[in-house]
Structures are given as structure tokens and as C-alpha cells.
Amino acid sequence: MNLVKKWLFRVVLFIIFLVALVAASENSTEVSLNFLDYRTPEWPVSWWVLTAFVIGLGFGSLLNLFSNTRLRLRHRSAEKKIAATNQQLDHIKAETSVENEASP
């Protein structure tokens, strides 16, 4: 199921990319963007739209990577605690079974 979700997500992203590409190719007017005192070189609107899409995709993937890494570390820590608790529980069970066998 995880594999299907992953590939479905990739297909949806690819379709969005193609729609953005087609929509952006219709806008060939060259424009320059202004950020405070900085003026960018003149590019067609299609280049700006595609650049924004790619930057957004990269930024989103980077945030996803950090989030998944954090969750994986938490999961690993929880698994270690569970293993240690199970080991202690097995040790206690072994001690009580030895005591129960020795008491009659």
C-alpha cells in the first residue's frame, strides 16, 4: 500500500508539473521582478513560474526529509525502549518461574 501511495503521489506531481509547464509556456512576455532594491534580469513569465514551482517542490521535499528523519529517530528510540522493557519483563518472568518451582 505504501508503494502505491508513493507512486500515486509521484504521478500527481508529474501531472501538476506538466500542467504548470503548459500554462507557463503560454506566457512568453519577459518581465523583471523587484525585491526591495534588487531587480532581477528579464525572463519570460514561463521561466519564473517554473522556477517558483521547482523551488517550492525542493523546499517541500526538504521539509519532508527533516520531518521524516525526526519521526524515524523517535521511532528508533521508542523501539529501543520497548526492547529494553521486554528484556526486563522476560528477566522478571524467568526469576518468578524459578522461585515458583523452588517453593513447593
Asked whether 32 and 41 are in contact (CB, 8 A), the reply is: yes
Q: What is the pLDDT of residues 21-72, one digit of tens each?
A: 777 677 778 888 898 889 989 988 878 877 888 899 899 999 999 999 999 9
- Model-level pTM? 0.55
CA distances from residue 65 to 24, 41, 71 in whole angstroms, order as listed: 28, 32, 10
How far apart are the C-alpha atoms of 82 and 88, rounded to whole Å?
A: 10
